[in-house]
């Protein structure tokens, strides 16, 4: 088997890269270890930067996004029993859109298959040669094979095979002393815009998926057992953390999905070795407080698609040689913003009274300063790509 670009991973990064390369006449094969249903059902991100919605729309993969995506112009920081709106669009001219990662994956899978794309589910990459580029794989029947290629894009997430194939890698990481318990509930959202709540009992986030479906998260200890959280306890704790003095009420309903996600910051440098390029969670992880994970994966892929297009069109390696440094500038900005939003709003169990007073003072300042609100808004809506 041979292709121009071998893509490991059929998540948002791998599927979008395959789609963007196809539009430039560049062939690729996507190797995805899981089955199609698993990949399309996996509950993850939900908030898209304008740069992400722009690339999906401009590349012809945004029709359903434009019909069903919920465009937002602001968010609320809630603490001390009061809400404070951050007018994102007034401050930056940009919008954000609520549209689940599951839907992006479904749209991209459908588009690749409709375009005759080669997406191989239940086919696991088991080895990578970054120099005489090739990927060894094993399919659902246990048959093994080798995919020869010009370039390899490891879009295989945090636990993939691509990153270990980069020699001399430097990694940077931070584990947080808490995790997120996330739920999907069949109940109309109790808010039109997202509510990020900093409460002495812990952080909570009210997001949404549609006018009928709510997506909510609450801070729990890092090793929390989900069995300790029956539905009634989840709703009781969420109501306590979102409580305000103005009569606002959290609507409860049937919980249809429940999961706990650990929180970590992680970056691997460089994001390239010879003909192998890392993109998305394969290279970096952020705590989801800043809604950056999926959007960073998209921006890596936009940079890589541009570089590969230049290489095939002109023979120039200039953009490929700059890939890692170009991506890492934006990655580290998103890492800092995600760390900042996380420490601003979560309760650190080790925090003493002095630290808690500093945190409250920081929150009071953010919602009272145009400069601070603008800083939050320009990072949250997404800085320019590349
Ligand atoms: P992904 O992990 O999505 O995709 C990698 C793919 O590679 C997977 O389908 C995997 O099966 C496949 N793969 C792995 N090894 C392979 C191999 N050897 N061979 C073939 N295929 C292989 N981000 C947000 O912005 N907001 C959120 O609320 C949020 N919540 C999250 C919750 C969870 C539980 C997790 C894990 C992440 C969350 N994220 C969130 C981040 C998430 O959205 C990622 O940033 C996004 O999925 C990154 O996309 P990819 O880089 O494509 O990696
Ligand atoms: C989501 O809707 O899943 C979501 C939104 C914003 C975040 C994290 C998750 O910061």
For residue 385, the model assigns a pLDDT of 84
In the reported structure, the alpha carbon of residue 279 is separated from the centroid of ligand 1 by a whole-number distance in angstroms of 11
Looking from the CA of residue 208, the nearest atom of ligand 2 is 2
* CB under 8 A, 24+ apart: contacts of 278-281: 278/154, 278/162, 278/163, 278/166, 279/13, 279/14, 279/17, 279/153, 279/154, 279/155, 279/304, 279/327, 280/9, 280/11, 280/12, 280/13, 280/14, 280/155, 280/157, 281/11, 281/13, 281/157, 281/158
- Write out the CATH class of domain 5-70+99-172+265-341: alpha beta
Quick one: fold of 174-263+347-381? D-Amino Acid Oxidase; Chain A, domain 2 (3.30.9)
- Cβ of 289 closer than 6 Å to ligand 2, yes or no, is yes
Catalytic, 288? Answer yes
- Cβ of 261 closer than 6 Å to ligand 1, yes or no, is yes
- Cβ of 288 closer than 6 Å to ligand 1, yes or no, is yes
User: Which of these is catalytic: 72, 206, 284, 373?
Assistant: 72
Q: What are the pLDDT tens digits along the chain (386 aa)?
A: 999 999 999 999 999 999 999 999 999 999 999 999 999 999 899 999 999 999 999 999 999 999 999 999 999 999 999 999 999 999 999 999 999 999 999 999 999 999 999 999 999 999 999 999 999 999 999 999 999 999 999 999 999 999 999 999 999 999 999 999 999 999 999 999 999 999 999 999 999 999 999 999 999 999 999 999 999 999 999 999 999 989 999 999 999 999 999 999 999 999 999 999 999 999 999 999 999 999 999 999 999 999 999 999 999 999 999 999 999 999 999 999 999 999 999 999 999 999 999 999 999 999 999 999 999 999 999 998 86
For residue 27, the model assigns a pLDDT of 98
In the reported structure, the alpha carbon of residue 135 is separated from the centroid of ligand 2 by a whole-number distance in angstroms of 34
User: Which of these is catalytic: 176, 196, 217, 323?
Assistant: 196
Catalytic, 380? Answer yes
Give dist(CA 4, CA 21) in Å, integer.
10
Looking from the CA of residue 207, the nearest atom of ligand 1 is 28
Give dist(CA 374, CA 353) in Å, integer.
29
Q: In the chain, what are the domain boundaries?
A: 5-70+99-172+265-341, 174-263+347-381
Model-level pTM greater than 0.95? Answer: yes
- Cβ of 9 closer than 6 Å to ligand 1, yes or no, is yes
Instruction: Answer whether 281's CB lies under 8 Å from 301's CB.
Output: no
């Amino acid at each position: 088997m041979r292709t121009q670009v071998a893509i490991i991973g059929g998540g948002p990064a791998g599927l979008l890269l395959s789609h963007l390369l196809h539009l430039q006449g560049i062939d690729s094969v996507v190797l995805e270890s899981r089955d199609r249903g698993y990949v399309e059902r996996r509950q993850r991100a939900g908030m898209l930067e304008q740069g992400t919605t722009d690339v999906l729309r401009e590349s012809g993969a945004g029709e359903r996004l434009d019909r069903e995506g919920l465009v937002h112009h602001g968010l609320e920081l809630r603490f001390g029993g009061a809400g404070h709106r951050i007018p994102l669009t007034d401050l930056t001219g940009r919008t954000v859109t609520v549209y689940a990662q599951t839907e992006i994956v479904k749209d991209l899978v459908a588009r690749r298959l409709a375009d005759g794309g080669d997406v191989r589910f239940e086919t696991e990459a088991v080895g990578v040669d970054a120099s005489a580029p090739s990927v060894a794989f094993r399919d659902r029947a246990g048959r093994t094979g080798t995919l020869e290629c010009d370039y390899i894009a490891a879009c295989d997430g945090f636990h993939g095979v691509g990153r270990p194939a980069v020699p001399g890698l430097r990694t940077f990481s931070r584990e947080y002393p808490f995790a997120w318990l996330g739920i999907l509930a069949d109940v109309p959202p109790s808010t039109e815009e997202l509510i990020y709540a900093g409460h002495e009992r812990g952080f909570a986030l009210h997001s949404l998926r549609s006018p009928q479906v709510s997506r909510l998260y609450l801070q729990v200890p890092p090793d929390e057992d989900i069995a300790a959280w029956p539905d009634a306890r989840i709703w009781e704790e969420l109501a306590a953390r979102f409580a305000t003095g103005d009569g606002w009420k959290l609507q409860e309903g049937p919980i249809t999905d429940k999961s706990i996600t650990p929180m970590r910051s992680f970056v691997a440098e460089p994001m390239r070795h010879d003909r192998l390029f890392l993109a998305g969670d394969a290279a970096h992880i952020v705590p989801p407080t800043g809604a950056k994970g999926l959007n960073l994966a998209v921006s890596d892929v936009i940079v890589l698609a541009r570089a590969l297009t230049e290489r095939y069109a002109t023979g120039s390696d200039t953009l490929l040689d700059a890939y890692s440094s170009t991506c890492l500038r934006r990655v580290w900005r998103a890492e800092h913003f995600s760390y900042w939003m996380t420490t601003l709003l979560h309760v650190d169990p080790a925090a003493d009274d002095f630290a808690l007073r500093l945190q409250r003072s920081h929150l009071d300042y953010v919602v009272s300063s145009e400069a601070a609100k603008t800083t939050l808004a320009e990072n949250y809506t997404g800085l320019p790509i590349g």
